[in-house]
Amino acid sequence: MSTHPTGKRTGRPRSASADLAILEATRAALVELGWGKLTMSDVAGRAGVAKTTLYRRWANKHDLAVDAVAVLFDELQLPDLGSLRADVEGVVLQFAALLERPEAKTALMAVVAEATNDAALRLRIRSSIVDRQKRLVVEGRRRAQRRGEIPPDPPGTDPAPQIDLIFDVIAGAVVHRTLVSGEPVDATWVAGFTALLLTGLASA
Amino acid sequence: MSTHPTGKRTGRPRSASADLAILEATRAALVELGWGKLTMSDVAGRAGVAKTTLYRRWANKHDLAVDAVAVLFDELQLPDLGSLRADVEGVVLQFAALLERPEAKTALMAVVAEATNDAALRLRIRSSIVDRQKRLVVEGRRRAQRRGEIPPDPPGTDPAPQIDLIFDVIAGAVVHRTLVSGEPVDATWVAGFTALLLTGLASA
Amino acid sequence: MSTHPTGKRTGRPRSASADLAILEATRAALVELGWGKLTMSDVAGRAGVAKTTLYRRWANKHDLAVDAVAVLFDELQLPDLGSLRADVEGVVLQFAALLERPEAKTALMAVVAEATNDAALRLRIRSSIVDRQKRLVVEGRRRAQRRGEIPPDPPGTDPAPQIDLIFDVIAGAVVHRTLVSGEPVDATWVAGFTALLLTGLASA
Amino acid sequence: MSTHPTGKRTGRPRSASADLAILEATRAALVELGWGKLTMSDVAGRAGVAKTTLYRRWANKHDLAVDAVAVLFDELQLPDLGSLRADVEGVVLQFAALLERPEAKTALMAVVAEATNDAALRLRIRSSIVDRQKRLVVEGRRRAQRRGEIPPDPPGTDPAPQIDLIFDVIAGAVVHRTLVSGEPVDATWVAGFTALLLTGLASA
DNA sequence: TTCTAACCGAGACGGTACGTCCGGTCTTCAA
DNA sequence: TTGAAGACCGGACGTACCGTCTCGGTTAGAA
List Cβ neighbours of B180 (8 Å cut-off, separation of 6 or more).
Answer: A112, A125, A130, A168, A171, A172, A175
Contact partners for chain D, using 3 or more CB pairs closer than 8 A, are C
Residues C53 and C144 in one domain: no
Residues C189 and C101 in one domain: yes
Q: What share of chain C is helix, strand, coil (3-state, %, to 5)?
A: 70, 0, 30
**Residue of A122, A168, A175, A193 best to disrupt the B interface, most CBs of B under 10 A:** A168
The reported pLDDT for the residue numbered B5 is: 53
Name which residue leads in pLDDT, B120 or A53. Answer: A53
Q: Are D158 and C177 in contact (CB under 8 A)?
A: no
Q: How far is the CA of B23 from the C1' of F7 (A)?
A: 26
The reported pLDDT for the residue numbered B4 is: 54
Residue C16: name the closest of C27, C6, C28, C2 by CA.
Answer: C2
The reported pLDDT for the residue numbered B189 is: 97
Residues B85 and B133 in one domain: yes
**What is the Cα–Cα distance from A134 to A73, expressed in whole angstroms?**
11
Residue B129 — very low, low, confident or very high, per pLDDT cuts 50/70/90?
very high
Residues C49 and C124 in one domain: no
Q: What integer is the mean pLDDT of B121-143?
A: 93
Residue A21 lies in a domain: yes
Name which residue leads in pLDDT, B14 or B88. Answer: B88
pLDDT at D11 over 90: no
Asked if the Cβ–Cβ distance from C172 to D174 is below 8 Å, we say yes
Q: What integer is the mean pLDDT of C124-130?
A: 92
The reported pLDDT for the residue numbered D36 is: 86
Residue B55, phi-psi category: left (phi > 0), alpha (psi -120 to 50), beta (remainder) = alpha
Residue C2 — very low, low, confident or very high, per pLDDT cuts 50/70/90?
low
**What is the Cα–Cα distance from C145 to D204, expressed in whole angstroms?**
12
Percent of chain D whose predicted confidence (pLDDT) is above 70 = 96
Residue A21: name the closest of A50, A57, A51, A48 by CA.
Answer: A48
Residues C106 and C63 in one domain: no
- Chain E: positions less than 7 Å from a protein CB are 4-31
The reported pLDDT for the residue numbered B139 is: 96
Q: Which domain holds residue B30?
A: 16-68
pLDDT at B172 over 60: yes
Residues D167 and D73 in one domain: yes
Residues C161 and C130 in one domain: yes
Half-sphere exposure of D25 (CA within 13 A, CB side): 23
Min Cα–Cα distance to chain A from B29, Å: 13
Residue A9 lies in a domain: no
**What is the Cα–Cα distance from A59 to A64, expressed in whole angstroms?**
8
Residue D169 lies in a domain: yes
Residues B122 and B180 in one domain: yes
Q: What integer is the mean pLDDT of C147-163?
A: 94
List Cβ neighbours of B17 (8 Å cut-off, separation of 6 or more).
Answer: none
Name which residue leads in pLDDT, A118 or C62. Answer: C62
**What is the Cα–Cα distance from B154 to C111, expressed in whole angstroms?**
91
The reported pLDDT for the residue numbered A1 is: 62
Q: How far is the CA of B164 from the C1' of F26 (A)?
A: 73
Residues D150 and D194 in one domain: yes
Three-state secondary-structure class, residue A190:
helix
Asked if the Cβ–Cβ distance from D171 to C149 is below 8 Å, we say no
Residue A11 lies in a domain: no
Determine how many CB atoms are found less than 10 A away from the CB of residue C148.
Answer: 8
Residues A120 and A53 in one domain: no
Residue C6 — very low, low, confident or very high, per pLDDT cuts 50/70/90?
low
**What is the Cα–Cα distance from D23 to D29, expressed in whole angstroms?**
10
List Cβ neighbours of A37 (8 Å cut-off, separation of 6 or more).
Answer: none
Instruction: Provide the CATH number for the domain around residue D77.
Output: 1.10.357.10
Chain-centre distance of CA B38, in angstroms?
20
Residue C44 lies in a domain: yes
Q: What integer is the mean pLDDT of B92-112?
A: 92
The reported pLDDT for the residue numbered A51 is: 96
Compute the CA torsion angle D27, D33, D34, D38 (nearest 10 deg): -80
**What is the Cα–Cα distance from C87 to C143, expressed in whole angstroms?**
9
Residue C66: name the closest of C120, C136, C139, C145 by CA.
Answer: C120
Q: Are C2 and C67 in contact (CB under 8 A)?
A: yes
Query: Which of B8, B33, B68 is a domain's end point?
Result: B68
Asked if the Cβ–Cβ distance from C181 to D164 is below 8 Å, we say yes
The reported pLDDT for the residue numbered B2 is: 56
Residues D130 and D29 in one domain: no
List Cβ neighbours of D188 (8 Å cut-off, separation of 6 or more).
Answer: C161
The reported pLDDT for the residue numbered B8 is: 45
B3 touches chain A (CB under 8 A): no
Number of domains in chain D: 2
Instruction: Provide the CATH number for the domain around residue A54.
Output: 1.10.10.60
Residue D7 lies in a domain: no
Residues A79 and A170 in one domain: yes
Query: Which of C50, C68, C86 is a domain's end point?
Result: C68
**What is the Cα–Cα distance from A108 to B199, expressed in whole angstroms?**
31
Query: Which of B68, B86, B111 is a domain's end point?
Result: B68
The reported pLDDT for the residue numbered C36 is: 87
D18 touches chain C (CB under 8 A): no
DSSP string, D163-175: HHHHHHHHHHHHH
Residue B115 — very low, low, confident or very high, per pLDDT cuts 50/70/90?
confident
- Give tens-digit pLDDT for D157-180: 999 999 999 999 999 999 999 999
Q: How far is the CA of C15 from the C1' of F27 (A)?
A: 11
Measured CA angle at D74 (ends D199, D78), to 5 deg: 40
In chain A, the residue whose alpha carbon lies closest to the alpha carbon of B185 is A165
Residue A3 lies in a domain: no
DSSP string, C82-99: SSHHHHHHHHHHHHHHHH
User: Residues of D with CB below 8 A from C161's CB?
Assistant: 188-189, 192
- Give tens-digit pLDDT for C177-201: 999 999 999 999 999 999 999 999 9
Asked if the Cβ–Cβ distance from C112 to D199 is below 8 Å, we say no
Q: What integer is the mean pLDDT of D45-69?
A: 95
Phi and psi at residue C71, in whole multiples of 5°?
-60, -30
pLDDT at C40 over 60: yes
Q: What is the pLDDT along chain A (204 residues), one digit of tens a residue?
A: 667 666 657 889 999 999 999 999 999 999 999 888 999 999 999 999 999 999 999 999 999 999 999 999 999 999 999 999 999 999 999 999 999 998 998 899 888 888 888 888 889 999 999 999 999 999 999 999 999 999 999 999 999 999 999 999 999 999 999 999 989 999 999 999 999 999 999 875
Instruction: Write out the H or E segment, with its range, that includes residue A182.
Output: none
Which of C:153-192 have CB within 8 Å of D? 161-162, 164-169, 171-177, 179-183, 188-189, 192
Question: Burial level of A11, CB count in 10 A (0-12/13-18/19+)?
Answer: exposed
Q: At what angle do helices B84-100 and B160-175 cross, to 10 degrees?
A: 50
The reported pLDDT for the residue numbered B22 is: 95
Residue B114 — very low, low, confident or very high, per pLDDT cuts 50/70/90?
confident
pLDDT at C43 over 50: yes
Distances in whole angstroms, Cα of residue B150 to Cα of each of B62, B77, C201:
40, 21, 115
Residue B127: name the closest of A185, A102, A180 by CA.
Answer: A180
pLDDT at C8 over 70: no
Q: Where are the alpha helices (DSSP H) in chain B?
A: 16-37, 40-47, 51-57, 61-73, 84-100, 102-115, 119-125, 134-147, 160-175, 187-199
Residue C5 lies in a domain: no
Compute the CA torsion angle A28, A29, A34, A36 (nearest 10 deg): -160
Distances in whole angstroms, Cα of residue D118 to Cα of each of C42, C184, D115, D122:
20, 16, 5, 6
Q: Are A90 and A78 in contact (CB under 8 A)?
A: yes
